[in-house]
Structure 1
Amino acid sequence: MRALSETTKYTVFGVLFGFCFPIGAILFLYLAGYVPDNQGLVAVVVSAHDNALLYVIDSAPLFLGLFARIAGIRQDRLLEFSASLEHKVAIKTESLRRALDEAQKANDQIVHMAEHDALTGLLNRRRFHNELERWTLFALRYQRSLALIFIDLDNFKLVNDTYGHLAGDRYLVEVSNLLSRTMRTTDIVARWGGDEFAILLPETSREGAIRVANKLLHLFNASDIELDEQTVRPSASLGMALYPEHTTDIDTLIMYADAAMYEAKDAGRNCWRLYSASQHEMERVQEHIQWEARLRRALENDQFILFYQPLLRLSDNTTPGYEALLRMEDRNGELISPGLFLESAEHFGLSVPIDQMVIRKAARKIAALSDHRLWISLNLARTSLDDPELFEQIEKAVNENALGSGQLHIEITEMAALEYLDKTRTLITKLKSIGCSVVLDDFGHGPAFHFLQQLPVDMIKINGDLTRSLATQPGSQALVKDIVSLAQEKGVQVAAKCIEDENHIDLLRELGVDYAQGFAIGVPVEAIEQRIFLSHNVTQNEE
């Protein structure tokens, strides 16, 4: 009976009741006295059929059966509708659950990328600094000690130049894996930048730090890394500083570990040094402090100068844009490259005001050359992405100088963009709303490929190590092709920087690169006007 539909069940019930009704009707007439009670059963039935009331009562099964069938049909339909509704709700619930799971995974991935190095998967500098702050507060409160170790890989540039950019990346990944496998679960390992790593050792004394340093050196000396069927043995210089023995200030602790690391490099490399306030270490710390004073003085006295390097558009050999390159003019008139002072500027929190100054100067230069309709790009420091006033400063410069759409290009390095992924996406959206173009600089480390769709930039600049190896490393050409293909798919232009050989220009055209920049294209100049004038005269002479 369970296998029958509700319509069939109700119909069967209606028929059964229909059969019962005549008997019930005759019994009713007999009890009501409408038929004589002194006759036999057959006579009673015959007499009952002579009574018109019997036919009225007998018609009830017809209506009852009809009602039962209608009720069964309605019941079937209600059950079908209920089952269909439950099925649809289950599908929607499962779809919503999957969407929430995917959104959570995507959010977790974004958070992970914002706190971890894209290449090695280790913590990045910002997250490591946060962990250092947390553990130093713990150590101060509970009177505990900790050690900070800085690691610089020896001869990493030689590995890059010999085996190529991709092999250099694999080398860094293998070293990070060695460190991760060796350190305790409570230790914190990070990629500080480039070929430098940092390790925080909580609850560690001087003796414990020395044991770890010896263990790391032994690990490096006993390990082999395979690169292009060649075996490379890693080597590193280690510098250590202790908290609170050496200092209770985080920035000073970092400075001391850095000074000790350079002391190890000067001692012949492949060794460790514990900060000891030696003359050489004190000189390096003092140099940092002196740089702070020089940078502050340069900001106050407007001693920062912008030089401009052209970008050649390979499709028509024109120069529509320039990159602003920062130089500092010392009191004796000497021009100082940013490689000498940017680290100190970031260390002492001066990168943000320097970037604000560069934005103002670049915007004024664009306005002064408004007749030529060119664009200028400028680099932002990593720490500027964390500046809440950054966009307001850029917007103010754009409005005050009446810059047109696409005349100001803002460059953000790939590593900084991944470190500050959420803030970078928000900043890009705001910059595009005021007509600025966005350039993703130093592109080509691999993991950023996946996140390019989350960063709606207008141009990507291939990192210099990759472009320098184009002629010698076939793998580099293949990687550039992949970058160009991805960029074209996203409608993004591609620029190659650090082009120092004119023979590379034709190769870049073959690979589909849009722009080229480097000394083979033009040296940085302070006066763009003069270069524009010369270019204009050359064009006229050719015509």
Structure 2
Amino acid sequence: MTSLAPETAQSLPHIDSGTESAQDWVRNAIGASGDILYKWDILSDRLNWAGEIEEVLGEGENAIASGHGFNNRIHPEDLPRRLKALSDHFSQGDNYDCEYRVRNGQGVVIWVHDRGRVEIDANGMPVAMSGVMRIITQRKQNEARLERIANYDELTGHFNRARLRDELEHALSFSRRFKVDGAFLVIGVDKLAMVNNAYGYEIGDAVLVAIGQRLDRTLRASDVIGRLGGDRFGVLLTNCPEECVVGCMDRIIQSMREQAIEIDGQSIPITVSIGCVLFPGLVNTAYEVMTKAESALTYAKKAGRCCYNVYRPSEQQTLLHRRAMDIGTQVQQAMRDQRLIFTYQPIIHAQSMTVSKYECLLRMKDLKGEILPAGAFIPVVEQLGMTRLLDRYVLDMTVEELRKDPAAVLSLNISGLTATDQSWLRALIAAVKSTPAIAPRLIVEITETAALHDIEESARFVNVVRDVGCRVAIDDFGAGFTSFRHLKALTVDLVKIDGSFVRNLANNVDQQLFIRNLMGLAGTFGLETVAEFVENEADAQVLIQAGVHYLQGYHYGRPQFDRPWTVGQRILSA
């Protein structure tokens, strides 16, 4: 280990007399941390090291004596990133914090975490660089293992179901945009249970691995293979017209049927059945494609196995699809023409009877100027996979309204898909950074059923929205019977009681009991509550007596295009 430079020793903290020297103290601290220090003289390109150099880099302190020599050890794929990080640090003052791979003295590639700071002379030129380096190979290996678990099937090494679904979503989007044909196949191994019973599950697993390898040899390099689970594989064929898809399925079936699989001296005959969905066609989402392909596989198995079945929609389904496509086109055109508009429904403070906030409810003007309710186009938007696009548009509309009126407090609804959309979150963060005053006046509503679909992802979404200063509400609360654990994990600000528990409340003892229990649950976590669909005074009084904080419904105001009230104004029931 090199001795510490004089300037390093002079900067050390005071050590009482009678204790170890300053250099020994620092040397021991560095050794215990497992880090190594470096000082790079940029003008002479001299590189000095301190710490357990041989243990970290596998060689003595003088083996890598120059910055140029060290760069030659960095992995070629990582060197540009490291050089850019240095350049940004030198020219712009960005933090220098970089992870990259280095070949050590034994020729072994290791991962290091490198942090440092440049020294600038009076002319603003970089003259030296000091930093600390730590080996992170184990962490990188763990990260790679976790990424593999998240994306790949442990048995066959092919994509798992989640990753295959993501690839299918991208393929569908590409297919629609560029009018390129493709197909998704679900390949089921015929009577795998008989193989498991006859030879054991280990042989059965080996058969699945062999089938996956045979698919690799049979299909094109551009085709995507994944394991859907159990005895089923999924195959994504891109840029593949129908006649080529049929030929591909014939080859797969023939390759399995004509040659048995040899495992441990056992010759095991195997056949497969295939369900196929062509796209873009009448399918719009990966979930729909996979579901219909599974259905087609079922028909292939019923037809005697060792064959394929292509999903063919009925004439009625074709007509419905064309109608849905027409509505989807209308929605896209309405976004371009700014014919999507809001109506605003007031949310009333239960004690003061004053307007607290408004919920934004989406409507669409058709080309004749007639107003279409959300129910006329939102289901189609969801079916066509346009939900995220529409939710982003609605966010922009809401932000613009909040910027126009500093007194407005607005609530908007988003879909469950948007709760996992990073681009939507980035747009929200950018809007709040641009106009911080809108954050406390914006409430984001997500339905309870959507939140429970992926509780961890929903919790991350809620945390980001609240971190930027906005509030989050759970809509349709009670419909999914959220548990204490789930409600605690979501850490929302408001819960909106599902309207099915509010209608005819005054005449339903069971619903009244449910409301009281629900209020107790919300009170446990300090949450405010909103009752939706309040349509008469009798129901309103039951809700007020139960302690509900806010009321919303026709009894206090129907959705209107203009703002008939202002926040804070007292309102009489309608």
Higher relative contact order (CA 8 A, sep 6+): 1
Q: Greater share of strand residues, 1 or 2? A: 2
Q: Greater share of helix residues, 1 or 2? A: 1
Q: Which has the larger radius of gyration?
A: 1
Normalised by the length of structure 1, the TM-score is 0.50
Normalised by the length of structure 2, the TM-score is 0.47
